[in-house]
Amino acid sequence: MNTSQICRRFLWVFGLATVLVLGWTARSAPPRPNVVLIYADDVGWGDLGCYGARTIPTPHLDRLAREGVRFTDAHAPAATCTPSRFALLSGMYAWRQKGTGVLPGDAALILDPAKPTLASVFQRAGYRTGVVGKWHLGLGPGPGKTDWNGEIKPGPLELGFEHAFLMPATGDRVPCVYVQDRRVVGLDPLDPIRVSFKEPITNEPTGRANPELLKMHPSHGHDMTIVHGISRIGYMSGGRAARWKDEEMSDDFARAAVKFIERHRTQPFFLYLAPHDIHVPRVPHPRFVGKTPHGPRGDAMVELDDCVGQVLAALDQFGLARDTLVLFSSDNGPVVDDGYRDDAVTRLAGHRPSGPWRGGKYSRFEAGTRVPMLVRWPARVKPAVSDALMCHVDFTATFAALLEQVLPTGTWVDAEPHLPALLGESRVARDHVVEQAGGLALREGRWKFIPGGPGPKRNEPTDTELGNDPSPQLYDLQSDPGEVDNLAPRNPERVEAMRKRLETIRNRGGG
């Protein structure tokens, strides 16, 4: 064989090897996944079967845990809804910006359309983007200026979402209508909507004046405009044909989510699905009533699981499950009585919504922000349980890393990229998390520090421990998950170091 033949033989073998390697790589390396982020409301660490619940069946959520990564130390950015949702979409802790507390239903949009958001990261990468469900981040220019009878903007479509089907705030706040893209769904122009959170607009019945008209009575507050037998926070007139029916809300959102998936099944998509369950008022569809011994709260949890199941079924039906990353979590910890007399307290029957943790929604104790989190992506993620310290404020930077999106330095104030941890490939993630609940607290590994200061010990309406104390508190969560033994007096050096670090984080504009 001469030199020329040897060279040709070498090139042929090399070429064949290259084709085989490239072919194997193409088959073994999954494409960038579709992403479905399911962000539930007020669901506690202990409310899922895969986290220890024994009397609330959650088979679809348990399936996610079985087929993906179940995180045991994941945190919402705050112990209430609006600030957690703000941080999730912005990559910045909400306590850095004024006006990011729990919003009224007529608030102005609090996210800056000029800054990158989680949605715009996906949009930059060529994804179709949609939001379905609870919004609660403000719409339009604000009180007295947002036109509920015309085009409502700015809103999600100015933040990187190309489609929206949402409720403006919460189920217990007016306006009780859905908004699709920039307009109220089903609005009769002859019955215009008016909204006020200051004073009554008309002489329409209210829960306070007409309790005989209610099918669910408030336990505290929630006694203003009556919509379908439930009194809400705030006053609303008009829009009668457009008002939602609480019993149908979960199915409305599931249907909109499945429709979005079906429409974009041949393209990469990002869906932010924010169910209202299990926030008050808890009014599950009749097919879920009585599914648990815990009354409407437990039954609403079963309804939430069914919503997740409808989404998973759609992914299976369209052949998308393998290459879709599904992430489930909650915007804060659990609350039992949050404003309506729905027997949630009397029918707990041994169920522990917070699991082993102390506190709940509104609290600086651990259950305020420690929430369930599940991640499934069959093409890449192997089933596992992870104790990595995670926080939703990192989703912007983490998904930017997944999509190989390079954004300008300083884009994310607090977000850190922790893609290996999210995918269960590493148990190393954050070395600290700032927890917001009125005041702030700091987690560093096993240690939890709550600064001393004024404030009530309990949220009286909900009977939740808030974690406030005049003296600093320090807990070793590994040996004391219930935060019972305050180690601060015995560890002054650690207390001072964590106090200084929290102050540094607060002042320098980042973690």
pLDDT in tens, 76-115: 999 999 999 999 999 999 999 999 999 999 999 999 999 9
Decide if pLDDT at 509 tops 80.
no
If one counts every other C-beta atom within 10 angstroms of the C-beta of residue 505, the result is 17
Decide if pLDDT at 187 tops 80.
yes
The mean pLDDT value for 393-407 works out to: 95
The bridge status of strand 69-75 relative to strand 390-391 is: parallel
Cα dihedral 240→245→249→253 (10° resolution): -30
Q: Which of 496, 497, 468, 505 is nearest to 483 (CA)?
A: 468
- The residue with tokens 């042929």 is 12
- Of 10 and 156, the structure prediction assigns the larger pLDDT to 156
Measure the CA–CA gap between 389 and 397, rounded to whole angstroms.
16
Longest Cα–Cα distance of the chain, Å, equals: 103
| pLDDT at 16 (0 to 100) | 38
DSSP three-state, residue 97: coil
Decide if pLDDT at 7 tops 60.
no
At residue 508 the predicted structure's pLDDT band, cuts being 50, 70 and 90, is confident
**CATH topology for the 35-184+245-431 domain:** Alkaline Phosphatase, subunit A (3.40.720)
Write the pLDDT tens digit of every residue in 33-83: 999 999 999 999 999 999 999 999 999 999 999 999 999 999 999 999 999
Measure the CA–CA gap between 371 and 84, rounded to whole angstroms.
12
Measure the CA–CA gap between 2 and 506, rounded to whole angstroms.
74
117-121, 198-202, 506-510, range with the lowest pLDDT? 506-510
Measure the CA–CA gap between 358 and 374, rounded to whole angstroms.
22
Question: Residue 145, exposed/middle/buried by CB under 10 A (0-12, 13-18, 19+)?
Answer: exposed
| pLDDT at 411 (0 to 100) | 87
The full set of domain ranges for the chain reads 35-184+245-431, 434-508
Measure the CA–CA gap between 305 and 371, rounded to whole angstroms.
16
Beta bridge partners, 447, equal 444, 476
Question: Three-class SS string for 147-182?
Answer: CCCCCCCCCHHHCCCCEEEEECCCCCECCCECEECC
| pLDDT at 17 (0 to 100) | 40
The bridge status of strand 235-237 relative to strand 384-386 is: unpaired
Beta bridge partners, 69, equal 375, 384
Question: How many residues would you count in the chain?
Answer: 511
- The residue with tokens 């019993």 is 247
Measure the CA–CA gap between 359 and 275, rounded to whole angstroms.
23
pTM: 0.94
- Of 436 and 438, the structure prediction assigns the larger pLDDT to 436
At residue 235 the predicted structure's pLDDT band, cuts being 50, 70 and 90, is very high
Decide if pLDDT at 462 tops 90.
no
Question: Residue 387, exposed/middle/buried by CB under 10 A (0-12, 13-18, 19+)?
Answer: exposed
In DSSP notation, 240-284 reads: GGGB--GGGHHHHHHHHHHHHHHHTTTS-EEEEEE--TTSSS---
From residue 69, alpha-carbon distances to 47, 320, 327, 366, 446 in Å are 17, 19, 10, 21, 21
At residue 409 the predicted structure's pLDDT band, cuts being 50, 70 and 90, is confident
The bridge status of strand 370-376 relative to strand 324-330 is: antiparallel
Write the pLDDT tens digit of every residue in 160-179: 999 999 999 999 999 999 99
Measure the CA–CA gap between 367 and 47, rounded to whole angstroms.
12
Measure the CA–CA gap between 193 and 238, rounded to whole angstroms.
4
| pLDDT at 30 (0 to 100) | 52
Q: Give the CATH architecture of domain 434-508.
A: 2-Layer Sandwich (3.30)
Decide if pLDDT at 9 tops 90.
no
The mean pLDDT value for 460-486 works out to: 95
- Provide the residue type at 322 as one letter: R
Measure the CA–CA gap between 52 and 356, rounded to whole angstroms.
10
The mean pLDDT value for 306-325 works out to: 98
What sign results for the dihedral spanned by CA atoms 437, 400, 310, 174?
positive
**Residues with Cβ < 8 Å from 331, sequence gap 6 or more?**
39, 40, 41, 42, 76, 80, 81, 84, 85, 88, 371
* Percent of the chain residues topping a pLDDT of 90: 90
Decide if pLDDT at 475 tops 70.
yes
| pLDDT at 19 (0 to 100) | 37
Asked if residues 344 and 468 have their Cβ atoms less than 8 Å apart, the reply is: no
